[in-house]
Amino acid sequence: MPDVGEGLTEAEILKWYVQPGDTVTDGQVVCEVETAKAAVELPCPYDGVVHELRFPEGTTVDVGEVIISVEVAGGAAAEEQPQTAQPAAEEPAAKDAAASDEAEPQGRQPVLVGYGVAATSTKRRPRKQAPGAPAQEPAAAAIQGELNGHGAPAPAPEAPAPAPAPTTAPAGPRPLAKPPVRKLAKDLGVDLATVTPTGPGGTVTREDVHAAVSLAAASVGAPAAVPVQAPAPAPAAQPRPEAPAAPASGRETRIPIKGVRKATAQAMVGSAFTAPHVTEFVTVDVTRTMKLVEELKSDKDMAGLRVNPLLLIAKALLVAIKRNPEINASWDEAAQEIVVKHYVNLGIAAATPRGLIVPNIKDAHAKTLPQLAEALGELVATAREGKTTPAAMQGGTVTITNVGVFGVDTGTPILNPGESAILAVGAIKLQPWVHKGKVKPRQVTTLALSFDHRLVDGELGSKVLADVAAILEQPKRLITWA
């Protein structure tokens, strides 16, 4: 599983496009995986025949794990991840294993969205063993092999083994586990020293950590007879369910939190408890805007483009930001600075089958109305297909969330992390409204603007929201204010 960067440590295999025995070529897409950012297709960096698929669909795999092997020319099985040069037999010294791990890598490194630069020679050094504990060599070699992107070669330690080592756990004081597993254990409050390892060479796996959590929960909430049966459920907790599994009673369904949903939850919690949120509301008559939408649909310059109220709302927000540029900023905690941005990457919150994502339109401030309509159409279509790339969700400055499509009047949206403001658009409905001194049915909606009060004070936030409302009430201001 290649490392896509951005702090991602795992990905779920959604679909395999090849099976053992299929012929593959360099660059051919072999599977689709979902990270915490998006679902992307993974290319194969080899020409050959698929030898083995290591994991079934629906499995969440740590970065660095071998997921597929390919028989390349010469009959060698190449694993689809960064490879290192195999050690030769020219130096039979006891340090051959460490030297081979630091050898120059070969080929390009595949990433989740294509090919990256050539892999560097930087490798994790093998764990140092305490004197008199040679039984740890196989475990260290196995872990080092996984971290370097290939299976560990059969170790041939030359030092004599004075005494056998325990087989149930590593002899050293620090349990063997990969960084993602250590992070999982830390998040769940599990002491790795208390976990029984089942991985290669006595390593602790993700399933071991989950089994320890299940065992602890059973020992706390179960009757006195349960601890006698405690060791039995542990193996059953190891397989990762491919679909939400309902308990035998049928009254509850447990859905694993992973992928986009997990990343969204973490981001929203971080945003809500980091940025002091303020939300302001305004109800506005958008009858003229709705008439303009209908006129634009028949305009030949907008032919083939998707024209809807969201398009004009987005344009109104861009004009309001141009009139109040200080709102388009971010908070730099490390430098204790406010970073005002002279470009607008306009985020559009999109509900997809895999959860809420917020791709953004790059340099939206510089686009004409037809260009903005085209970009919006492509963004929505890509999001619905689940093909939004991680790059499309980075670098946003302000966001629009259209809760009105669900019939909701308004809401108090949470800021997308790193952004200063988010505009929620409510449902547009016919309501009684005082127009020219008389009560008439008019198209009315409610806007809600949440902003980071460290960056945006009440005056600035009110001005931006009032400008958006004024433009939607009188769309001709798109011309006079632009």
pLDDT in tens, the chain (482 residues): 877 555 567 888 888 999 999 999 888 889 988 776 677 788 888 888 998 899 998 888 888 889 999 998 765 565 554 443 343 334 444 444 444 444 444 444 444 444 444 444 444 555 544 444 444 444 444 445 444 444 444 444 454 444 444 444 444 456 787 777 777 777 777 888 888 888 887 888 888 887 887 776 554 444 433 333 333 343 433 444 444 444 545 788 887 877 666 776 777 777 777 888 999 999 999 999 999 999 999 999 899 899 999 999 999 999 999 999 999 999 888 888 999 999 999 999 988 877 788 999 999 999 999 999 999 999 988 888 878 888 888 899 999 999 999 999 999 999 988 899 999 999 999 999 999 999 999 999 999 999 999 999 999 999 999 999 999 999 999 999 97
Cα–Cα dist 292/449, whole Å: 24
Give the pLDDT of residue 192.
Answer: 82
Task: State both tokens at 289.
Answer: 């805007």
Q: Is 162 in contact with 127 (CB distance < 8 Å)?
A: no
Q: β-strand 438-452 against 329-332: which pairing, if any? A: unpaired
CB 46 within 8 A of CB 78: yes
Indicate the DSSP class of residue 125. Answer: P
Contact indicator for 388, 382 with CB cutoff of 8 Å = yes
Task: Measure the CA dihedral 236/241/243/248, to 10°.
Answer: 10
- The answer to whether the beta carbons of residues 388 and 396 sit under 8 Å apart is no
Q: How many CB atoms lie within 10 A of CB 106?
A: 12
User: Token digits for 218?
Assistant: 């059973």
Which CA distances in Å does 61 have to 5, 55, 181, 208?
A: 15, 8, 11, 14
DSSP string across 55-76: S-TT-EEETT---EEEE-TTS-
pLDDT the model gives residue 79: 55
pLDDT of residue 91: 42
* pLDDT confidence of residue 113: 40
Whole-number Å distance between alpha carbons of 385 and 369: 25
d(CA 279, CA 198): 51
Sign of CA dihedral 353, 357, 363, 366: positive
Instruction: Give kind and range of the element (H or E) at residue 116.
Output: strand 114-118
Distance CA 324, CA 322 (A): 5
**Residue that the structure tokens 């010294």 belong to:** 93
Nearest 5°: the CA angle 118, 65, 116 is 20
Q: Using an 8 Å Cβ cutoff, are 318 and 344 in contact? A: yes
Q: How far apart are CA 212 and CA 435, in angstroms?
A: 66
Q: What's 244's DSSP letter?
A: P
Alpha helices in 102-136 (DSSP H): none
In the chain the domains, ranked by start, together with CATH numbers, are 10-127 (2.40.50.100), 261-480 (3.30.559.10)
Contact 31, 277 (CB under 8 A): no
Strand 337-340, strand 346-348: pairing: unpaired
Instruction: Say how far apart CA 212 and CA 231 lie, in whole Å.
Output: 10
Give yes or no for a contact between 168 and 231, defined as CB atoms under 8 angstroms apart.
no
Residue with tokens 């020992």: 219
**Active site amino acids:** 453
Cα–Cα distance between 376 and 384 in angstroms, integer?
A: 12
Residues of the chain by 3-state class (helix, strand, coil), percent to 5: 30, 25, 45
Q: Provide the 8-state DSSP code for 212.
A: H
Angle between helix 206-221 and 179-188 (nearest 10): 20
Token pair of 371 as six digits? 């260009």
How far, CA to CA in Å, does 111 sit from each of 11, 116, 260, 262? 12, 6, 18, 22
C-alpha R_g of the chain:
28
Question: Tokens for 162?
Answer: 């004075």
